[in-house]
Amino acid sequence: MDYDYVIVIDFGGQYAHLITRRIRELGVYTEFLSAENASLEELREAIRGAKGVILSGGPSSVWEGKHDHIASIVVEEAKPTLGICYGHQLLAKVLGGSVGRAYKPEFGPTIVSVKARGDPLFDGIPETIVAWMSHNDVVLQPPQGAVVLATSQGSPVAAFRVGVVYGVQWHPEVVHTMFGLKLIRNWLKLIGVERNWKPEHMVDKLIASIREAVGDGVAVAAVSGGVDSTTASLLAERALGDRLIPVMIDHGLHPAGEPQRSVELLRKIGLEVRVVDASDRFFEALKGLTDPEGKRR
C-alpha cells in the first residue's frame, strides 16, 4: 500500500466494525480481519505489514484458549498493539498475567481512574472518566513488567502497558466512553502512523476488484435506495458499465412512493434501475403471520 495501515482482528465483538470505522475517520486506512475466517498465514502477513494491531472485544472467555495463538503472533512480531475488552484480557494472559472472573462484573457506564497520566496513551485525558464496560472477566494480575495504567471498582487492571503492547478493559470506540476517540487518536500518534488516508483512495482498488471478479460476465446489483447498496452499485457501474443490471424489489411494504423516489434519485447518478413488483408474492407469504421473526424470514 502507498499509506500506513492498521489491522483490527475481530473476535466476534459487537463493536469490532465500529473500531475500524473510528480509525478510518481519523485518516488511517484500517483492515478488518475475522479471527474465525482468516488463516494464520493471512493474519501473520497482514500483521507484519501493519503499523499497529487492535484486538477487539468478543463473547469468548480467555479460559477457553481458542485465540491464544493469534495473540502470540502479535507479540512475536513485536507490533504496537491495543487490546480492547476481550483483546485486553487475551494479551494479559498470553504475556503471563492472570485473568479470572470479576467479583463485580461491569456493564454500561463505569467510572475509571487513570493512574499513569504521564503515559502517552492518556495524554490530555483526565484522572477520572466514565467509560463503557461490558465484561464478566477481568485481568486480576498484570503481566510481569507491566505498568497498570487505570483501574475501576470491578477491574483492578483496567488498563496496562508492556513495551509496545497496551490493553484497556473498556470500549473507547463507542460514544458512551468519555475521551474514547482521544485515546484512539493518542494510540495512533504513539505508534507513528501517518493520518493521510481518505475513503476515496479505495475507489480504484474496488473498481479493479469488481472487474476481476465479474470478468466478461454480467452482474446483478440488488439496490434498495440506501447508502450501502447505492455506493456498491455505483462502484460496480463504473467498473462494468452496461454489464451491470441494478434491480430493486418492491415488496409492497415501503412507505408510499418511496421506491419511485429512490429510482428517480438513482437514475440521476447514472444507475438505470429495473423495478420488480413482488408485492403480491410478499403479501401472500405474510398472510396470517403475527410472529415478528416469522415475518422477517
Catalytic residues: 85, 171, 173
| CB proximity list for 11: less than 8 A, separation 6 or greater | 35, 55, 56, 57, 58, 60, 67, 86, 87, 90
Distance of alpha carbon 264 from alpha carbon 226, whole angstroms: 13
Please give the torsion angle defined by the CA atoms of residues 102, 104, 105 and 109, in that order, rounded to the nearest 10 degrees.
-140
Beta bridge partners of 175: none
Nearest to 85 by CA among 21, 167, 206, 163: 167
Cβ neighbours around 38 below 10 Å, total: 17
Cell of 193: 502512523
Distance of alpha carbon 43 from alpha carbon 67, whole angstroms: 12
Distance of alpha carbon 276 from alpha carbon 223, whole angstroms: 11
Nearest to 71 by CA among 79, 142, 63: 79
Question: Whole-angstrom distance between the N-terminal and C-terminal Cα of the chain?
Answer: 41
Please say whether the beta carbons of 170 and 112 come within 8 A: yes
Task: Give the H/E segment covering residue 284.
Answer: helix 279-286
